Amino acid sequence: MNKFLITVIGPTAIGKTALAVSLANHFDTVIISSDSRQFYKEMSIGTAVPTTAEKKGIPHHFLQHVSITTPYSVGDFEAEALQMIHNLFQTHDTLILVGGSGLYTDAVLKGLDTFPEVSPGVREELNQTLEQKGISALQQELKALDPEYFQRVDIQNPHRLIRALEVCKSSGKPYSSFLGKPKANRLFKPVVVGLKAEREILYERIHARVDQMMADGLLEEVKKLLPYKDYNALQTVGYQELFAFLEGVCSKETAVETIKKNTRRFAKRQLTWYRKTTGVHWFDYQTPHHEIATVLEEKIDLMK
């Protein structure tokens, strides 16, 4: 059990990648990504996949390792990540886990929640609702059946909405009531560090990142993916809004502003998720990385 998984969390655009790389350098180790938007080979700019320069020579695992056409669930990730962690702990005492997808991070740290069987036909019914009435109908239904989970879920992701609703409808209980139960033990000790900033600063960083993505060629990336727009991987902020522009639904300026708005909403949901995470060592986003590394090193020494 003297193996440690340093886990970096925080809202989008807060600086998690840079901190993770600094910590990996300090502890002479590697990085595992738990960002579900960065798993896909065809998506780089809109998911802020770290560049070669940003990686600074540190090996990263679970970046762009599957195709958008390949079904890939949180359960798949949990199994593969745990096997990878087991293998890496043969040669490292400390590993770095980083990502903004709370569900995927928790799957590694705690294991997945157990849900009841879904009644036959419920998923098909919900898919028909999505097709005929649009995503807003699913959003309103989830808000009525499980207002707690509605505050946490990415409401722009129809796959997540349908998953929650099918459990609600099949069990007669809120989806959130099945979350947070005791789960599997892990053969490592998690050390969770979070980055935070005032909301106004976070929003400024989000807006700057979106502008930079557009300058880096996000629209061209999205154009290539237009034929695949209905795939689950592309039900993602930054892609759906530009699909709407390319299909003549709105102007480019409106699409970019909508990306910023939806990214702000996504950050709010991340913060809601993190508020329920205990034992986090929170730091202001401007804290020098070497200071954070020193605190974590002392923490790990105490846990040995």
pLDDT digits (tens, 9 = 90+) for 256-271: 999 999 999 999 999 9
Is 45 within any annotated ligand binding site?
Answer: no
CATH number for the domain spanning 49: value is 3.40.50.300
Is 16 within any annotated ligand binding site?
Answer: yes
Instruction: Show the tokens assigned to 229.
Output: 């727009």
* Residues 144 and 197 placed together within one structural domain of the fold: no
* Residues 243 and 174 placed together within one structural domain of the fold: no
- Neighbouring CB atoms inside 10 A of 99's CB total 25
d(CA 263, CA 235): 13
- Torsion sign over Cα 20, 6, 232, 263: negative
* Residues 197 and 287 placed together within one structural domain of the fold: yes
Q: Which residue has the tokens 């980055």?
A: 195
d(CA 60, CA 38): 11
**Per-residue confidence (pLDDT) for residue 289, from 0 to 100:** 98
Q: What percent of the chain has pLDDT over 70?
A: 99
User: What mean pLDDT comes out for the span 156-184?
Assistant: 89
pLDDT band at 183 (very low <50, low <70, confident <90, very high): low
Pick the last residue of a domain from 137, 160, 178.
178
pTM: 0.84
d(CA 101, CA 109): 13
d(CA 231, CA 69): 7
Instruction: Show the tokens assigned to 124.
Output: 């098909």
Average pLDDT value for the chain:
95
* Residues 56 and 199 placed together within one structural domain of the fold: yes
**Residue 157 located in a structural domain:** yes
Is 12 within any annotated ligand binding site?
Answer: yes
Pick the last residue of a domain from 178, 199, 214.
178
* Residues 141 and 159 placed together within one structural domain of the fold: yes
**Residue 191 located in a structural domain:** yes
Q: Are 276 and 105 in contact (CB under 8 A)?
A: no
User: What mean pLDDT comes out for the span 62-81?
Assistant: 95
In the sheet that holds 60-61, the strands lie side by side as 60-61, 31-33, 94-98, 4-9, 189-196, 281-284
User: What mean pLDDT comes out for the span 101-129?
Assistant: 90
**Residue 38 located in a structural domain:** yes
What is the per-residue pLDDT across 232-253, written as a single tens digit (0 to 9) for each? 899 999 999 999 999 999 999 9
d(CA 139, CA 235): 14
Q: In this model, does residue 20 exceed pLDDT 70? A: yes
* Residues 43 and 168 placed together within one structural domain of the fold: no
Range of the domain at 136: 122-178
* Residues 203 and 93 placed together within one structural domain of the fold: yes
What is the per-residue pLDDT across 188-236, written as a single tens digit (0 to 9) for each? 999 999 999 999 999 999 999 999 999 999 999 999 999 999 998 999 9
Is 11 within any annotated ligand binding site?
Answer: yes
Pick the last residue of a domain from 142, 163, 178.
178
Is 10 within any annotated ligand binding site?
Answer: yes
d(CA 190, CA 48): 25
Q: In this model, does residue 21 exceed pLDDT 70? A: yes
Is 14 within any annotated ligand binding site?
Answer: yes
CATH number for the domain spanning 172: value is 1.10.20
Instruction: Show the tokens assigned to 284.
Output: 């202001």
* Residues 16 and 152 placed together within one structural domain of the fold: no
What is the per-residue pLDDT across 127-163, written as a single tens digit (0 to 9) for each? 999 999 999 999 999 999 999 999 989 898 898 999 9
* Residues 249 and 207 placed together within one structural domain of the fold: yes
Give the number of domains in the chain.
Answer: 2
- Neighbouring CB atoms inside 10 A of 102's CB total 20
**Residue 117 located in a structural domain:** no
* Residues 198 and 273 placed together within one structural domain of the fold: yes
